[in-house]
Every structure is written in C-alpha cells, then in structure tokens.
Amino acid sequence: MKIKKVAFWDNLREWRFEPIYFSNLSLLIGVSGVGKTQILKGILSLQQIANGGSLNGLGWDITFATLNNVEYRWQGEFETKENLPFILNDDGETNEFRIVSETLFREENAVVQRTPNEIIFKGKTTPKLSPFQSVVEILNQEEDISPVHQAFNKITSNNSSSIDYYEINYTMISRIQESDVLLDDIKESDLPIQLKLALICRIFSDIFNKIKGIFIQVFPQVEDIKIEPVQDEESSFISFPIQIKEKGVNNWIFQNNISSGMLKTLIHISELYLSPEGTVILIDEFENSLGINCIDVVTDLIVENRNIQFILTSHHPYIINNIGMEHWKIVTRKGGIVTVIDAKDLNLGKSRHQAFMQLINLEEYSEGIKVE
C-alpha cells in the first residue's frame, strides 16, 4: 500500500492530528515531544483496528492506494469511555468499545456505510455484526474489502534496538528447502526479516551476497557473514543467530556479541531487499543505534527504493541534512493539536545545507510545542 493522507484523533487523551500528506519517503522532524512518534503509533493503531482491534476514543480518516493503484478512503470512530479500571472484566477479557461510525470508499464509491444501528454494504443492510470490530476485519473476505485488509498487513515497524534469535521447527525448514520456493514466496511470507534472511542465505545465495556486500561497504573490517542453524538438544527447534567474521580475528563473532548498530544496519538493508512491494516501513528515531558510517548507505538505499514507502522520524541534524528537503515534514504541536508542514511550503534555500540552516532557525522547528 501507499499511504497518501491520514488524520486521526484520540478523544480520550484530547490529541488531534491534522491531515498529514505522505510521499514514498517522508521524514518527520521536530523537537522531542512534538508528536512524531505518536504519528507512527497512530498508523500502527489503524493496522490494529483493521485486524479487529477495539480502541477507546480513537477516530481516523486515511486515504491510501493498493499495490494495484486502487484508491481507498477509510473513516471511522470508536466510542469514548473515561475512568476505566486497568483490570480485566469478569470474562478475563479487556474492555471493548463500540464503533459509532465507519465508512469505506473505493475510488470515491461507498462500499460500506456504518452507523451505531446498522451496516450498509454495497447498498444492502447486513445481518447484525460485531459492533466492536471494523468492517475491514469482519468482511475481509469480500472482494472490495480484502485488498484493504491485505494492505494494512503490509505495514511494519522496526523500532527495536534488540534482534531476536528466532526459533522455528526443523521439519518446517526442511520442507521449505526441499520445495520449489520462489523469492517472492519468501518476501510475501509473514516471517520476521531475520528468518527471511536465514532462508535467503540457504536458498538464494546471490541475493544474500548482495546484502552482505552492502553491509561490508559500511563495515570494511568485516570479511564475511553467515547464518547457520543451531539446534536445541532438548527440542526439535533451531535458532538462527547471525555471525560475522572480522579481518584478523580467527573466530566467528556470534550475534550476542555483535554491536546493536551493526545488527540494525543489517536488518535495515535486508528489509530493502526482502520486504514485498507495497510494504510501508515505519522507523522511529532513525539514528538510534546507527553509527555515522551506517547512516549514509542505509539512507541512500531508502531514497532509491521506489516500491516501498518509508515514514521515518528524526531530530538528528546529520539525518535531516542528508535526506532531501523535499522529504521533510515539520511537526508542530499547540496543546493537543498536532500539525505537519511540508518544508517546500516554507520557501527554504535551494541547497540542502542552506535549507537545513534555515530550518533550524525557523520558529516552527525550534519552538515546535506551543502552550495555549
């Protein structure tokens, strides 16, 4: 999918995000606390709603295109309940919240219209359906809604500074190796990136070598990478730790002794090669755990990639100065209202450096949070 525009509001916390327009690469910039991370969390909340989540007081309005370039607009709002106890109910489940309104348009034609009392699907009233789940989840097998459900499942977030070892059944791996697996099968799978990388290493060595080559450009002290299965002696499961070989060092270095910056760089590079077309990748504080030598290469790969949408946040001068100003989205907040301004609307200088120097002196950037 490609997110074109999104607005959402949290009635419980009294936050409102005015419409934000996105391109293939958008860099959300602004001072700490202005709302950059909350924008990414809001997008992830929409993914959660599309998969049946029930979120107190959340409202949304998002326009996006599918991989086939079909445009959808999805709007909705949950009821707001205040002063709820932070405990489970008698059934051992968390509270559920009713959807008070929901509409879905496909190329400006209404597919679903929902009120508190009824759901109209393609002009016909449906039987009584769950009031707590979105129509995107309830009707996800329908021809006009299935692409929406699939699109939201292509949103991924890579904000963790730690990388897991991941375990998988040995029989499953053997079946994958023995079958006629296509590269697109691995890309389209729900496997974590590290497991995709492990499979690529074993089945598509040419792709793995490209990833490895770019990684070694960033870290020239590394001469090789491998991912070999390590089987648990007491079970049928195996893990896939990443290992690197450094020049002048005899032993391979296991994943738990590799720096977080190196691991995160490898994962970012792998995402660019192994995510399916139409993926939306959210990265909060892009600079975290990435050294200066990593940022240039990963940033160049992101800018060049046109089949995947990236929405990044940063307040690091080096990051901002190395991504073209046409991608800058300046985030400001007044009380609970968050507004995003395109850098091109601020008449910044023509050169990237000149634009950056003007940016850091702008009131919208330097004083991003204003008190009512």
CA distance linking residue 173 with residue 231, whole number of Å? 12
Range of the domain at 208: 167-275
The per-residue pLDDT for 107 is 95
The per-residue pLDDT for 33 is 86
Q: Is 103 in contact with 122 (CB distance < 8 Å)?
A: no
CA distance linking residue 78 with residue 76, whole number of Å? 7
**Count of beta carbons in the 10 Å neighbourhood of residue 116:** 10
Q: Are residues 126 and 215 in the same domain?
A: no
CA distance linking residue 263 with residue 242, whole number of Å? 8
Q: Is 347 in contact with 366 (CB distance < 8 Å)?
A: no
The per-residue pLDDT for 289 is 61
Alpha-carbon distance values, 220 to 67, 94, 250 (Å)? 37, 50, 16
In a domain, 207, yes or no: yes
In a domain, 138, yes or no: yes
The model's pLDDT over 128-166, given as tens digits with 9 standing for 90+, comes to: 999 999 999 999 999 999 999 999 999 998 654 444 555
In a domain, 57, yes or no: yes
The per-residue pLDDT for 282 is 93
Helix (H) or strand (E) holding 72: strand 71-78
In a domain, 300, yes or no: no
Q: Are residues 144 and 177 in the same domain?
A: no
In a domain, 27, yes or no: yes
What is the phi/psi pair of residue 276, to 5°?
-70, 160
CA distance linking residue 257 with residue 243, whole number of Å? 9
Work out how many domains the chain is built from and give that number: 2
Helix (H) or strand (E) holding 272: helix 260-274
The per-residue pLDDT for 92 is 46
In a domain, 293, yes or no: no
Q: Are residues 119 and 186 in the same domain?
A: no
In a domain, 47, yes or no: yes
Helix (H) or strand (E) holding 210: helix 205-218
The per-residue pLDDT for 350 is 67
DSSP labels, 31-50: STTSSHHHHHHHHHHHHHHH
CA distance linking residue 270 with residue 264, whole number of Å? 10
The per-residue pLDDT for 268 is 86
How many distinct helices (H) and strands (E) make up the chain? 12, 21
Alpha-carbon distance values, 322 to 56, 88, 214, 220 (Å)? 39, 48, 19, 22
Helix (H) or strand (E) holding 338: strand 337-342
Q: Which two tokens stand for residue 155?
A: 């949103």
Q: Are residues 174 and 148 in the same domain?
A: no
In a domain, 28, yes or no: yes
Give residue 138's identity as a one-letter amino acid code.
I
Q: Are residues 78 and 136 in the same domain?
A: yes
Q: Are residues 19 and 133 in the same domain?
A: yes
Q: Are residues 324 and 345 in the same domain?
A: yes
Q: Are residues 123 and 256 in the same domain?
A: no
Q: Are residues 49 and 135 in the same domain?
A: yes
CA distance linking residue 290 with residue 267, whole number of Å? 11
CA distance linking residue 88 with residue 295, whole number of Å? 44
Give residue 224's identity as a one-letter amino acid code.
D
Q: Is 79 in contact with 100 (CB distance < 8 Å)?
A: yes
What is the phi/psi pair of residue 220, to 5°?
-65, -15
What is the phi/psi pair of residue 106, to 5°?
-115, 115
CA distance linking residue 54 with residue 38, whole number of Å? 18
Comparing C-alpha atoms, which of 1, 119, 122 is closest to residue 71?
1
Q: Are residues 222 and 122 in the same domain?
A: no
CA distance linking residue 1 with residue 11, whole number of Å? 27
CA distance linking residue 167 with residue 305, whole number of Å? 30
The per-residue pLDDT for 355 is 73
Q: Are residues 187 and 150 in the same domain?
A: no
pTM recorded for the entire structure: 0.86
Strand 337-342 with 15-21, pairing: parallel
- For the chain, list residues with pLDDT below 50: 87-89, 92, 160-163, 371-372
Q: Is 354 in contact with 348 (CB distance < 8 Å)?
A: yes
Q: Are residues 175 and 254 in the same domain?
A: yes
